[in-house]
Chains A and B, each alone.
Chain A
Amino acid sequence: MIATETDAYQDAYQRLNDARGDTFPVWLRELSERALNQFTTLGIPTTRDEDWRFTNIAPFAARTYKIAESAEIPASRIESLVNDAILDEQFHRLVFINGRYAAQWSYLHELPNGVIAESVAQSILTHPQSIESRVGQHFDCENSAFIALNTAFVEDGANIVVPDDMIVDRPFHLIFLSVTDEPAVSHPRNLISIGKNSRATLIESFRGLEGASYFTNAVTEVELHESAHFDHHKLQHEQLNALHLATTQVDQQAGSHFSSHYFSFGGDLSRNELNCMLNGERAQCTLNGLYMPVGDQHMDCRTRIDHARAHCKSFEIYKGILDGRSKGVFNGKIYVHQDAQKTDAKQSNQALLLSDDAIVDTKPQLEIYADDVRCTHGATVGELDEQAIYYLRSRGIPADQARTMLIFAFANDVVRGVEVLAVRQHLETILLAEHGLDNV
């Protein structure tokens, strides 16, 4: 590790720490100090680290990003960015610009009693004890340099709490915009807690100002209490110059259901890590993902499902559609702990290659320390079926439409799992309408 790589962050940290007022809680200051030290110890990972074998972060880490300030960008440009991101006016909307909550663009409908939806900065200021037990609770910063980095720079993000026995009908939509004219970094930290028998839906959108170069290093922590249901969606539409790293950690108590829908379209290099800890009996998770890199994009999807208790189920489908000189990496681990009997885990990764220069690296993994389990994984890589295209063409469908139809059919396994209509329509527009076909 070259010392200078982390030096830039040290200086930035000093400035941030000085700017943190007296109201900044001591425990959080200590936590972020520890995290910074851990980041310095770990250093920027290289391809020699097994976890980063297929994703070379070095060229990006060498760049200097400064902590994003509120930029001098005309409001009209921000407005159009927000409008692009909005999926449905009915959603609770929390907008973050360069990682900081922007109240003027956000809109919260009336919230059910006891539900909290506010910025983490607000929580730190007014009632820090409510998040004290939740920041870094389910993580060890020990092994991930970028989680440590995020923790060191913890400042803002969304804090969403749904109390017990409550169903929140309207989805929460978190919109993260990077609006900057010089290379900048933001470290949003989201804290989500869903109470017993409660139900909620969340959508995260990541976008940026056209042409901007920036680094998003997001961390989301989710706690699902007993029998909670939580639907999580992520739409990654970062700019083509962006480095996007994100980790979502989910801790599931008994009987809880978690479903994740990840869609990756943007970014120069993006890496999404999703870790599910099935920490109570009969917990269940469904992880769906679709990554569609084109040009020179590099997309890395990592998932880890820990079956720590008996009778849990997990289902996972990740699909990649690769064009241009892009690279798609999938790394999925299912870890069945000792005594997690009666585990049922299914994992599948399929990659479709549209170009000769696209590159696929796939590494599904099963680590099993219990015996009464049913675990399967499958991985395939291939191209569009010539015969299927021929079949469609022989029925009068032009070649490019036939391709679009087949690509959509491939992606639809993931898309149709999305229950929020506005999100599904958004995806169908990308996959179909933009190629001249009607939405389903």
Chain B
Amino acid sequence: MSTDNALLEEYSQREYKHGFVTDIEADAIAPGLNEDVVRLISSKKNEPGWLLEWRLKAYRHWLTLKEPTWHNVKYPPIRYQDSIYYSAPKQQIKLNSLDEVDPRLLETYEKLGIPLEEQKALAGVAVDAVFDSVSVATTYKATLEEHGVIFGPFSEAVHKYPELVKQYLGSVVPYSDNFFAALNSAVFSDGSFCFIPKGVRCPLELSTYFRINAQNTGQFERTLIIAEEGSYVSYLEGCTAPKRDENQLHAAVVELVAMKDAQIKYSTVQNWYPGDADGKGGIYNFVTKRGACRGDNSKISWTQVETGSAITWKYPSVILQGDNSVGEFYSVAVTANHQQADTGTKMIHIGKNTKSTIISKGISAGFGQNSYRGQVKILKGATNARNFSQCDSLLIGDRCGAHTFPYIQVRNTTAKVEHEASTSKVGEDQIYYCRQRGLKTEDAVNMIVNGFCKEVYDVLPMEFAVEARKLLSVSLEGSVG
């Protein structure tokens, strides 16, 4: 179709819609990484000794590790010594209301479409907005406090609830886990901490908007969510980033702990700067996310819509320790232009009657390379474990790639493991059918792509489902004819 090229061109010249830099004075330290930097970060945050020790152990371990190369993504070597490992907006005074927040900050949020005030009123979502590395404003604290839910910046939790942090920090993702987790453990700046007490159903959907802002700052977030016995929480994470040319490293760690009968639902919409049409710039996103179903009948579900970043390296996993525990992974990953994604999940079945479901939808367009890499491991004691995996890829354009690397390891006879994968392009007959009924080609493709991802959208929280649909159609704008 002749319109293809024109549309593709239009798409490739499209500017990143969230591309702008807010000019706020940032409190940054000189680039480079050594033990002194780790100490400096720790002292800037006024951290207790044990945490500094932990950071140093992680740093020393990191030095012994090599950057992994097994993934199916290519990028120029990252110069870790050229990154700045700490940057905080110069505004450290405690705030009681939003009025006290730097108006320019609030303006930024508004540009991103997440006005705090509005959200307070309309969405009923408590937002712990992380601007660069330090949490600026936390809303809805009162409502949450009423229910005994602790939700706030990680650095604050270290001081307020040191015992809890000490007990759970690194208990799911130890600092020795992998190269990027070790780096994060050494230099993590801030993040979110969330604790749901026994039997509490969290009244709000908790949400954090991350935003990378200062030039050259790697973002090392650390999130820790603990759901006590019989509790429930739904956590939303959404990301946008301003446009810039240099690649930015992002290595976050997320740890989830679900006790007996507890449920954690973790949803992500990731839309960081993916680089320009020639593959220049963009965020390098190396994330370690893992949840542990510690107690019986617990459940952790990961839902992600990944449309941004030049490189996505992310495997949200669930360790199914408790009997009858459930792990779920729903993912839509889009790679357009020169984006690369190597993403998937790990389901480790340890307890009896554990169940896991994996639904992964990959969409590749332009020169995008999209890999699904997943592991399903049924250990010896996991009697009657059940897994179902489905990985579908949709190809748009003849220079993109879709790859599937599932690992299935079974150590128990009673296990039932099923894996299905398919790869295809948007059918010409499907488009033809829609066009016959008066739809424009682009609308038809949109409809088909949305239908392709429906299974994942269905499990997204409502606010995200709307955003995700929009994101997807923007991401694929003009890439199909």
> Which residues of A approach B to under 8 Å, CB–CB?
50, 338-339, 341, 351, 353-356, 358-383
Could you say which residues of chain B place their CB within 8 Å of the CB of A374?
Answer: 422-424
B79 to chain A, nearest CB (A): 26
Q: Is the CB of B423 within 8 A of A368?
A: yes
Q: Is the CB of A381 within 8 A of B410?
A: yes
How many residue pairs at the A-B interface have CB separations less than 8 Å?
115
Could you say which residues of chain B place their CB within 8 Å of the CB of A381?
Answer: 378, 408, 410, 415-417
Q: Is the CB of B413 within 8 A of A364?
A: no
Identify the stretch in B132-140, B218-226, B393-401 within 8 Å (CB) of chain A at 4 or more residues.
Answer: B393-401
Q: Is the CB of A380 within 8 A of B425?
A: no
Give the interface SS of chain A, mostly helix, strand, loop or mixed. Answer: strand
Cβ of B203 < 8 Å from any Cβ of A?
Answer: no
Q: Is the CB of B410 within 8 A of A355?
A: no
Q: Is the CB of A368 within 8 A of B413?
A: no
Q: Taking A365-B404, A381-B410 as contacts, is the C-beta distance between A50 and B70 under 8 angstroms?
A: yes
Residue of A339, A361, A372 near B425 (CB, 8 A) is A372
A-B contact list, 26 entries, CB within 8 Å: A50-B70, A338-B398, A341-B398, A353-B415, A356-B413, A360-B408, A362-B406, A362-B409, A362-B410, A363-B405, A363-B407, A364-B421, A365-B406, A370-B395, A371-B395, A371-B425, A372-B398, A372-B425, A373-B424, A374-B424, A375-B424, A378-B418, A378-B421, A379-B417, A380-B418, A381-B410
Q: Taking A353-B410, A365-B405 as contacts, is the C-beta distance between A370 and B398 under 8 angstroms?
A: yes
B366 to chain A, nearest CB (A): 11
Q: Taking A378-B419, A380-B419 as contacts, is the C-beta distance between A360 and B409 under 8 angstroms?
A: yes
Query: Bound state CA distance, A373 and B427, in angstroms?
Result: 10
A365 to chain B, nearest CB (A): 5
Q: Is the CB of B410 within 8 A of A366?
A: no
Q: Is the CB of A368 within 8 A of B416?
A: no
Q: Is the CB of A363 within 8 A of B403?
A: no
Q: Is the CB of B421 within 8 A of A358?
A: no
Could you say which residues of chain B place their CB within 8 Å of the CB of A353?
Answer: 410, 412-413, 415
Cβ of B444 < 8 Å from any Cβ of A?
Answer: no
Q: Taking A362-B408, A363-B406 as contacts, is the C-beta distance between A376 and B395 under 8 angstroms?
A: no
Q: Is the CB of B406 within 8 A of A360?
A: no
Chain B residue at minimal CB-CB distance from A375: B423
Q: Is the CB of A382 within 8 A of B417?
A: yes
Q: Is the CB of A371 within 8 A of B408?
A: no
Could you say which residues of chain B place their CB within 8 Å of the CB of A356?
Answer: 380, 412-413
Q: Is the CB of B397 within 8 A of A366?
A: no
Q: Is the CB of A355 within 8 A of B413?
A: yes
Query: Bound state CA distance, A175 and B68, in angstroms?
Result: 45
Could you say which residues of chain A place their CB within 8 Å of the CB of B398?
Answer: 338-339, 341, 370-372
Q: Is the CB of A382 within 8 A of B404?
A: no
Could you say which residues of chain B place their CB within 8 Å of the CB of A371?
Answer: 395-398, 400, 425
Q: Is the CB of B421 within 8 A of A377?
A: yes
Chain A residue at minimal CB-CB distance from B72: A367
Residue of A358, A368, A373, A376 near B420 (CB, 8 A) is A376
Q: Which among A50, A339, A382 has the greatest number of chain B C-beta atoms within 10 A?
A: A382
Query: Bound state CA distance, A381 and B387, in angstroms?
Result: 10
Cβ of B402 < 8 Å from any Cβ of A?
Answer: yes
Could you say which residues of chain A place their CB within 8 Å of the CB of B414?
Answer: 383
Chain B interface residue number, banded: 35 or more
B375 to chain A, nearest CB (A): 9
Q: Is the CB of B70 within 8 A of A366?
A: no
Chain A residue at minimal CB-CB distance from B425: A371
Query: Bound state CA distance, A351 and B424, in angstroms?
Result: 26
Q: Is the CB of B403 within 8 A of A367?
A: yes
Could you say which residues of chain A place their CB within 8 Å of the CB of B423?
Answer: 366, 368, 373-376
Cβ of B120 < 8 Å from any Cβ of A?
Answer: no
B179 to chain A, nearest CB (A): 16
Q: Is the CB of B408 within 8 A of A361?
A: yes
Could you say which residues of chain A place their CB within 8 Å of the CB of B421?
Answer: 364, 366, 376-378
Q: Is the CB of B401 within 8 A of A369?
A: yes
B213 to chain A, nearest CB (A): 37
Residue of A50, A373, A379 near B395 (CB, 8 A) is A373
Q: Is the CB of A379 within 8 A of B406?
A: yes
Q: Is the CB of B405 within 8 A of A383?
A: no
Q: Is the CB of A368 within 8 A of B393?
A: yes
Q: Is the CB of A364 within 8 A of B425?
A: no
Shortest 8 CB-CB distances between A and B: which pairs? A371-B395, A362-B408, A379-B419, A381-B417, A353-B413, A360-B410, A366-B404, A375-B423
Query: Bound state CA distance, A40 and B222, in angstroms?
Result: 46
Q: Taking A373-B424, A373-B425, A376-B423 as contacts, is the C-beta distance between A364 and B395 under 8 angstroms?
A: no
Scoring B residues 424 to 437 as 1 if CB is less than 8 Å from chain A, else 0, what string do you get?
Answer: 11000000000000
B:327-349 near A, CB below 8 Å: none
Q: Is the CB of B399 within 8 A of A380?
A: no
Could you say which residues of chain B place their CB within 8 Å of the CB of A358?
Answer: 413
B:350-384 near A, CB below 8 Å: 378, 380
Q: Is the CB of B397 within 8 A of A364?
A: no
Query: Bound state CA distance, A436 and B148, in angstroms?
Result: 68
Query: Bound state CA distance, A360 and B70, in angstroms?
Result: 22
Could you say which residues of chain B place their CB within 8 Å of the CB of A366?
Answer: 393, 402-404, 421, 423
A176 to chain B, nearest CB (A): 32
Q: Is the CB of B70 within 8 A of A368?
A: no
Could you say which residues of chain B place their CB within 8 Å of the CB of A351?
Answer: 410
Q: Is the CB of B413 within 8 A of A361?
A: no
Q: Is the CB of A361 within 8 A of B409?
A: yes
Chain B residue at minimal CB-CB distance from A343: B423
Q: Is the CB of B417 within 8 A of A380?
A: yes
Cβ of B411 < 8 Å from any Cβ of A?
Answer: yes
Given contacts A359-B409, A377-B404, 17 further A-B contacts (CB under 8 A): A356-B412, A360-B410, A363-B405, A366-B402, A366-B404, A366-B421, A368-B395, A368-B401, A369-B400, A372-B395, A372-B425, A373-B395, A376-B421, A377-B420, A378-B419, A381-B410, A382-B417
